Amino acid sequence: MKKYIFPLILLFVSIIPLLDLLHAGLPITHDGQDHVARIANFYQNLSEGNIIPRWAATLNWGYGHPILMFLYPLPSYIASSFHFLGFSLVDSAKIVFASTFVLSAFTMYLWTKNFLPKEAALFSSALYVLAPYRFVDLYVRGAIGEHVAFLFMPLVLYFILKISKKYSKWFIVGGAMSIAGLILSHNAISLMFLPISFLYALYLYSKQKKYFQNIMLIFILGFGVSAFFWMPAFFEGKFTLRDIVTANEYKSRFVSLADVIYDSWNYGGSGQFTVQLGIVNWLMIILSIPVALFLFLKKNRLWILSFGALIILSLSIFLMLSYSSFIWHHIKILQNFQFPWRFLSISVFVGAVLGGVVISQIRNYRLIVVCLILLVFIFTSKDYWKAKGYKVFPESFFTGIYNGTTDTGESSPIWSVRFMLERPKTHTEVIDGNAKVVEIFRNSTKHEYEISVSDEAGIRENTVYFPGWRVLLDEGQELPIQFQDPNSRGLMTFYVPKGNHRVSVEFSETKLRLFSDILSLLSLGTILIFLKIKKI
C-alpha cells in the first residue's frame, strides 16, 4: 500500500472539490451555457459525418456562425464522446470538467516526481489544483478550454524531461500529442505556455545524441497534428471581427497587485471575481526566494529552475497589471487574449512548482508537514468549491436554435453584423422576382432546395456567409454569391435563372483548410509509421 499512498491522497484532494458537480443541472457560470450550445453544434456536425466541425448552424439566432473554426475543439471532442455514450449534453460537459481536473493533478505529479521527492511532488500537484483560479474557471467562468489546458501543461514538460534523459520514440510521440492537446485545448493558454516549454528544453540541455533534433521533432509533430485547427484559426481570423473586438479590450481588464495577493470570492464578471493566487501559494512563493538562494550556494541545479520559475511568475503577474499596457499595445497578438488576468494560469503553474521545491528542502517528517499544510489549504479554499446555483435545461434548448453567438462577437464575419437580434422567419426568402422554393434537405453544412423560377429571381439564404460557402445550380454550375448587400448584410444572396432547378448551398473546405487537414493527416501518419519502425 505504501506506493499507493501518494496517488490516493492526491485522488482525494482532487475529487472533493468536485462533489458539487453531482448536483442536477448545469452550474450557473459566465460561459457554461454557451459551451454546451457549442458542444451541441459540434456533436451535430460529427453525427453528420463532419470529422472536423467548423460551422455552428443553430447559433447566432439560427443564422449560423463560424465559431467552431476558432474555438478550441478538444473539449468538444471529449464531451461529444460522452454524449455518444448516452450522457446528456450538460452531463457530458460536467464530466469533461471533472475528469480533466483530476487528471491535471496526476499529470503534475507525474512530471514533478521526476525531480522532486514524492512528498514534494504531491504538494506541488495539490497546489496546482487547489489554487483559487482553478475554481474560478470551474464554478465562476465555466471556462472549459482553459480548464482542459491545465491537464497538458505538465504533460508537455514531462515528455521533454524524459527525452532529455533517455531516447524513446514513445517520449517523442507522447510529447507531440501533448503539445497538440494543449493547442487544441485553448488558443491563448498554448501561446502563453509554449515559450516556457522551449525554455525548459534549454534548461534540460543534454549531451544525449540528437537531443535538440528530438525536441524539434516533438514540436513539429505537435504543431502538425493540430494544424487542422490552428492554421485556419490564425490565418482566417482576418475574415472576422477578432482584431476589431479585441483591439482595446485589454485596457479595461488589468488587475491590481493587491487583488493578486488577496481578493474576496465573487461570482461576478471580469473585475469582480477573484484573481488572487491563494494564501498558501503566496507563502510558498515567498519561501522559495531564500530556498533558491540556498540551492544556489549548495550548487544544486534546482536553483536554475527556481529562479527561472520566479522570473516567469513575476513576468506573468506584471502582464496582468496596468504597468504592462505598453507591451500589450505593441505586441498585437497579446490583444487577442482579451483579458490580462488569463496569465493567472501561468502564475498558478509556476507557483505550484515553486511550492514543491520549497517542500523538497524539508528533511524530516516531510509527509506530515505536507498533510498539515494541505489541511490548511483545504480549509482556506473550501468555500470556493461550489457553484452559484444550477439550472436544469431540456436537451432541446441546446440542440435547437440558440439565441446568441456564444462569444463577444469576435468570431463574427467582418462583413456581417456583430450579433443577429432575432430568428429568421424562414430559411430562404425571395427578394427579387417570382419563385417558389421548396426545401428538400438540410443539415449543418448542406441545404438543398427545389426552386421554380418564372423569370430570373433573387434568393436570400438566411445563413451568414463565410469563406467556404458556395451555391451550386443543378449540382454543377456555381452561382455567384453576394454577401455585402446593405439590405441583407452578411447574408448570402444569389440569382437563379428561369426554370426548375435543384440548388445546393454547401459549406466546404477552403484551400487553406484542406491544406491544414492534409498536414494534420500526414503528421498522424508520420507518427504511426514512426511507431512501427523498430530501429530509429
- CA distances to 9, 116, 286, 352 from 359, in Å: 16, 9, 13, 11
- CA distances to 310, 314, 345, 461 from 324, in Å: 18, 12, 17, 46
What mean pLDDT is predicted for residues 139-161?
Answer: 97
Beta-carbon contacts of residue 184 (< 8 Å; ≥ 6 apart) = 72, 73, 74, 77, 226, 229
Q: Please check the confidence at residue 475 and state whether its pLDDT lies above 80.
A: no
Q: Please check the confidence at residue 402 and state whether its pLDDT lies above 70.
A: yes
1 band by pLDDT with thresholds 50, 70 and 90: low
Task: Quote the Cα angle for 27-31-35, to 5°.
Answer: 90
| Cell numbers at 307, concatenated | 529562479
What mean pLDDT is predicted for residues 441-457?
Answer: 95
Q: Please check the confidence at residue 2 and state whether its pLDDT lies above 70.
A: no
pLDDT at 205: 85
263, 276 contact by CB (below 8 A)? yes
Percent of the chain scoring above 90 in pLDDT: 86
96, 210 contact by CB (below 8 A)? no
486 band by pLDDT with thresholds 50, 70 and 90: confident
SS3 label, residue 127:
helix
Beta-carbon contacts of residue 100 (< 8 Å; ≥ 6 apart) = 78, 147, 148, 150, 151
pLDDT at 224: 98
DSSP letters of 352-366? HHHHHHHHHT--SSH
Q: Minimum mean pLDDT among 8-12, 133-137, 404-408, 521-525: which range?
A: 404-408
157 band by pLDDT with thresholds 50, 70 and 90: very high
What mean pLDDT is predicted for residues 422-438?
Answer: 94
pLDDT at 381: 87
255-308 pLDDT, tens digit each: 999 999 999 999 998 889 999 999 999 999 999 999 999 999 999 999 999 999
Phi, psi (5° rounding) for residue 477? -70, 130
SS3 label, residue 471:
strand
Q: Please check the confidence at residue 534 and state whether its pLDDT lies above 80.
A: no
320-343 pLDDT, tens digit each: 999 999 999 999 889 888 899 999
- For 311-427, strand residue ranges (E) read 390-391
The separation between CA 178 and the C-alpha centre of its own chain, rounded to angstroms, equals 13
Q: Minimum mean pLDDT among 67-81, 175-189, 236-250: which range?
A: 236-250
pLDDT at 146: 96
For 499: left if phi > 0, alpha if psi spans -120 to 50, otherwise beta; the answer is: left
The separation between CA 457 and the C-alpha centre of its own chain, rounded to angstroms, equals 44
Q: Please check the confidence at residue 210 and state whether its pLDDT lies above 90.
A: no
75-113 pLDDT, tens digit each: 999 999 999 999 999 999 999 999 999 999 999 999 999
Mean pLDDT score across all residues of the chain: 94
In one-letter notation, the amino acid at residue 384 is Y
Beta-carbon contacts of residue 198 (< 8 Å; ≥ 6 apart) = none
536 band by pLDDT with thresholds 50, 70 and 90: low
Cα separation, 463 vs 139, in Å, equals: 34
DSSP letters of 412-461? SBTTS-SS--S--SSSEEEEES-EEEEEEEE-SSEEEEEEEESS-EEEEE
pLDDT at 532: 87
Phi, psi (5° rounding) for residue 307? -65, -40
pLDDT at 417: 87
56-79 pLDDT, tens digit each: 999 999 999 999 999 999 999 999
529 band by pLDDT with thresholds 50, 70 and 90: very high
This prediction has a pTM of 0.95
245-264 pLDDT, tens digit each: 888 889 999 999 999 999 99
What mean pLDDT is predicted for residues 448-469?
Answer: 96
Cα separation, 453 vs 434, in Å, equals: 6
Cα separation, 6 vs 122, in Å, equals: 7
SS3 label, residue 467:
strand
362-377 pLDDT, tens digit each: 989 999 999 999 998 8
Q: Please check the confidence at residue 512 and state whether its pLDDT lies above 80.
A: yes
In one-letter notation, the amino acid at residue 272 is Q
